[in-house]
Amino acid sequence: MSKQVLKKIPNFNAYEIVNRFAMFDELAPEDKRLISNNQNIFYFIPDQDQFIVEGDIESSFYLLLSGSAQVKHNRIDYDELKAGDIVGINGFIHDIPRTAAVVATTDILAIKYSRFQFKKLPPHVREIIKDHMLEELTKRIDRLNMALHPE
For 71-124, the pLDDT digits (tens) are: 999 888 888 999 999 999 999 999 899 999 999 999 999 999 999 999 999 999
Superfamily (CATH) of domain 4-148: Jelly Rolls (2.60.120.10)
Percent of the chain with pLDDT over 70: 92
Calpha distance 132→46 (Å, rounded)? 25
Task: State the Cα–Cα distance between residues 42 and 38, nearest whole angstrom.
Answer: 8
pLDDT at 116: 94
Residues facing 62 on adjacent strands: 87, 112
| pLDDT at residue number 77 | 87
Give the pTM: 0.86
pLDDT for 7: 39
Answer positive or negative: Cα dihedral of 89, 93, 98, 99. negative
> Taking a C-beta distance cutoff of 8 angstroms, is the pair 54, 73 a contact?
yes
Sheet holding 68-73, edge to edge: 50-52, 101-104, 68-73, 76-82
Break the chain into its structural domains and give their ranges: 4-148
Write the pLDDT tens digit of every residue in 20-37: 888 899 999 999 999 998
